[in-house]
Every structure is written in C-alpha cells, then in structure tokens.
Amino acid sequence: MSLLLDRIPVEIFHIIFDYFWAHEILHSFNNISNYLNSILSNYKHYLINFESIRKSHFDVVCRSIRPEQLITLILSDKIETVNQSQLFQSLFSIEQFTHLRALKLIELDDDGGSFFSNLCKIPKLLSLQINTNINVPLIKSLPSLETFIINIPSGIHFNIDSSISMIQFKQLRHLTLFNCSCRQLQKIFDQAIHLTSLKISITFFDSDELHAFINFHQEKTRLSSLISLNLFVNGGGKYINHAKSYLPFVSFSGHKIMRSYVERFLAPLQRLRRLELVIPSLAEHSFLDAGQWERFLSSHLSRLSTFNFIISSWSSGTNIIDQYRRPFWLSRHWYVACDSSHSCLLTVPYFASTLIKNPSVPLSPNCTTLPIEQHHIFYDCVTDFTFDSDECKLLSGYNYVKNLVLQCSYIEDNVVDLSQVQSFIVSTPEWSLYKIITLIKEEMPAVNSLTLDYAYPRVSYQCLENISLKQVKKLCLPEYRNFEGIKPFDWSQLFPCVERLHISINSKSQIKCLLNQFRNLISGYFYVGFGHQDRNKSIQITRSWLQKQISCSKRKITKNFTYRIDNQFSFSLCLWIGEDDEISENSY
C-alpha cells in the first residue's frame, strides 16, 4: 500500500488534506512511509478542530504539527475537553501562529483573559469567533479582521460594548453580534465601510436604545454595501421556542415593536439581497400584512431575492395566510405558514420547526401557502422528536429524527424511523431497563448516546445477563446518585464501550466505583446537583487521588489527564483523559 501511495504527487495529497481536520489526516497518513511523513511535515494549511476531541488525538496533533503550519484553530473548554485552552497555551505561545487566519474559541475558562489579550499578536488573523456564556474580556486591536462573531446562548445577556471597543473594523466584511447596543453598532458601521453580511440582535432595554434604533440612519447613510442581514428585534414579552430562532432573548416588560421602526431601519439598505427578520414578541399586527410588505419591498428593497421571517402576533390565521397566495409571493417561492396556535407567522421551509413535541395531525393546507406536494418537508426537516402522550395518534412518518425523547409508555409504530436515531433519552419509569435495552438492540442500531432520566428501580442481571450494547459511546445517568445504599449495579457490563459519561453522584466512593467500571472513558462529568449535597459530607478530591483511580482503571500508571472541580455551590468534577502518556496537565 505504501508503495502505491508513494507514487501519488504531493499536490494531490494537498488537495485531499484541504477537506479534512488535522487529527483525521494524521490518523490516516502518519507513519505509513517516509514520503508521506515528509508531505505531512511540510504541509502548511492544517485545520485544527479540538472541539469534543479525544485527548489522544489532541496529543498527537500538538506533538506532530508546528504552529506555523496552522491556518485554522478551534479551542474548547467545554466539559468534555476541560482546561484545553490552558494546556494548549502551556505548549505554544500565541506569537508562534504566524499564518493563522481563523480562530474559534468555545467557552474558554476564566474569561479566557490571558488568551484574548494576546490575539493582537497574530499578524494574519482574518476571522475570530467567540462562543461564550460569560462576559467577554477586552480584545485588543485586530486591524486585519474580516469576520467577527460573538455567539451567546439564549436567555443570557451582558453588555459587550467595552470588550470590543478597541477592535479596528476597517476591513470587516462579516459581523455577528449578540447583545450589542445600537450606539456601539453605529460606531462599528462608521469604520466598517466594506461590511456585506450582518447578523445582529437588538433588545430595547430603555427608550434611549429604541430612539437610537429608530434614528439609526439619521446622521448619514450606513451599510451601503450590506448584502445580507439577519435582524432580531425584541421589545420584550414571551419567547418563541423555535428551532431556527437562535438569537438571544431576555424577558422584560419592553416596547411594542412598530412596523415603522423596522421599515425606517431597513429602507436605506437598498443593496440587500438576503433578509432574515425575527420578532419574537410584541410585534404590531401590521407586520403580518402582505400588502404592506409588497409595497415596501418593491419601493426600497427591490434587489431582495431571499426573504425569511418569523413574527409573533396575536393572530395569524387563515385570513392572513390567504394574503400570501398572491403572485408577488408565489412567483418568488416565498411560502409562509402559521403555527398550531395561530400566534406566529413564519416562512417555510426555512423556519419550519426541527423540533416536534405533542405531535398531532398533519398540517392543514389552509395553514400554509407551501404547495401540497411539498408538505413532506414539515416531516423531513424534524430531527428532534418527543413522544409525550399515549393518546396521540399520528398519520405520517418522521424519517430523519436524530434525537428521540420518550416521556410516555408507548411508541406508536411507523411514526419515527428508529433506525436513524442517534441520541435516545428516556424520562419515564414506565419503561423497564430490559425493555429499553431490547428496543435499542433490535430496532435502533445507530444510537450512540443514551440518557436514562428517571429514578431507576432495583436492577438485576437476571434478564440482562447476555446483553451488551457496544454501540453506546455516551451514557447519561442523571439519577445515578439514588443508588447509594443499594448494591452497585455494573452499568459497564451493559455498555462496555462507553467513552463519555455524564452522571449524578453523592459520594466520593461512587466516583471511584464508576472509574473502575468504565475503563474506556475519555471524558467524565460527575455532579451532585443543587440541593442534593450534604454539606457535612462534602466531597474532597485531589489530583493524586484522581491519578490513582484513573491508573487503576487503565491498569497502568498514567498522568495524562486534565480536570476541573467546581464546589462553589454544588460539587462537580470534569475529566478529560488521555489513552497514553504523551501530554499531561503537569505541563503547566
């Protein structure tokens, strides 16, 4: 095989490598031949993605690739790769990444302060994305930045104005900002004369913010080059729990969103070709008027080719839907639908829900302008499905469900294609463990993640003795702590190949037992949960104790793991475990 590969020109390998992450390239081609090793060593366009990565793969990449060979880097301190950014910084200094163009930082620990303060030392950085649920530290000048993204989860709000005040936006072309004030946005647009794509959420916390939005273009014309706009405008009230409504929401008694406000903001943006508008609450009823949209778009946004919206109002019934059956909408394939409560009007299939709960009869043709031959889209786009009623009778099948939640005693036949399900959550005690295991074994071959979210009865091996599910790689047991005092049940005999474990505990001995049972763990999240920990029996864990337990589990002495303990309010332990002894937390 190596002789055949050695005949392939270097340029062909470079083309192939451009489609894969660095750890995939190294896993597939490293140490096959001297010729391939030379190609790997000299390749200068590696894309590194460390999100949810095995620590052994992290170690191989850090050992094999030089910083100047990277053009893309993703770092993550989420619970499955805990302390990753600190470990990475102990191995490399930021100044070494002389050719890095794109950087994505996911939930960095300790605000990521030390990392953020040195980003200005990356000379060729063009794209920066930050996913965070805590305040963003001060980011110093980044003069060459073309893409800047800050993602914040729904329900979390903090002001990012001061964090981004030193960034230079002269070269900016693509911007995504959550929780940005209108005044800060105005300052950015004063610099960002080349901006073509914008995703922004605006929430009116006070009248000053509303006034700034209404008069956004008063001083001078901005966004003249803007081609694509995703605009989330929130005045307060309830949140639409919708799969595509991904922008953040903060509930408060706010301002009603008037159509004139939005039109005044949009009217100067005459180069727009793509518009997405989300108004989750307090929208003026005139937003639903198709005729007003036709006149406004024809007069001000005549270049628009894509228009998607989801607007919450008190009534969006069939009389509203009929307005959108006119040629202006149908000729552009701009189809709309209203939700089951007739409180929300949305474009489909773009905003068709990917989440189904309380499923019922198929969508009525009177509730959408989508041609009836395309109604299968409403089922094909569903990836998250919840069975929560034994009485619900369904007529149509959902063939592409990846995440299935079971909250009742019965799964109706032929509703969900169980062979496609990858994540299975059971949160009802009406299903015995034997019944769950049998169902997965016989009908759910793709399931690799299992959550048993209910108080388990006593479990024995009598009916499970010869059953094991090697396909399950991630196991979540939120009620495991309730096993204290019962003879431990060895879950690893049912799930011998579990690599990622999320589990509730109430004692140090349970952690020891679990580490000894699950010998293939690469990450673990052990937590007590609020209100379940006895302060007189607080859990005290040291690195040396963890090393001893992990070494016993791996049946060899190992120091290759990172961990984080949080006991501020309630105990939790995160572990990221290597499979050999290459790079360890002792490095920093």
Q: What is the pLDDT of residue 251?
A: 33
Model confidence at 488: pLDDT above 80: no
Q: Which of 50, 132, 110 is nearest to 84 (CA)?
A: 50
The amino acid occupying position 371 is P
Where do the domains of the chain lie?
Answer: 2-352, 505-588
Q: 174 phi and psi, to 5 degrees?
A: -135, 125
Coil, strand or helix at 289: coil
Q: 367 phi and psi, to 5 degrees?
A: -100, 5
Contacts of 262 (CB under 8 A, 6+ apart): 231, 233, 277, 279, 287
Q: What is the pLDDT of residue 219?
A: 61
What spatial distance separates the first Cα and last Cα of the chain, rounded to whole Å? 41
Q: What is the pLDDT of residue 586?
A: 41
The total of other beta-carbon atoms located within 10 Å of residue 557's CB is 11
pLDDT band at 364 (very low <50, low <70, confident <90, very high): confident
Mean pLDDT on 400-414: 90
Model confidence at 158: pLDDT above 80: no
According to DSSP, the residues that pair with 434 across neighbouring strands are none
pLDDT tens digits along 25-41:
999 999 999 999 999 99
Model confidence at 460: pLDDT above 70: no
Q: What is the pLDDT of residue 414?
A: 83
Q: What is the pLDDT of residue 490?
A: 82
Coil, strand or helix at 524: strand
The residue ranges of DSSP E strands in 50-115, in sequence order, are 70-76, 102-106
Q: What is the pLDDT of residue 162?
A: 78
Rounded to 5 degrees, what angle do the CA atoms 100, 101, 107 make? 85
Architecture of domain 2-352 in CATH?
Answer: Alpha-Beta Horseshoe (3.80)
Q: What is the pLDDT of residue 458?
A: 58
Residue of 75 and 193 predicted with greater confidence: 75
CB 84, CB 562: distance < 8 Å: yes
Residue of 194 and 179 predicted with greater confidence: 194
Model confidence at 511: pLDDT above 50: yes
Which helix (H) or strand (E) segment is 184 a member of? helix 182-191
pLDDT tens digits along 222-231:
557 899 999 9
Model confidence at 445: pLDDT above 60: yes
Question: Residue 359 has which token pair?
Answer: 């499923």
Sign of CA dihedral 135, 136, 137, 138: negative
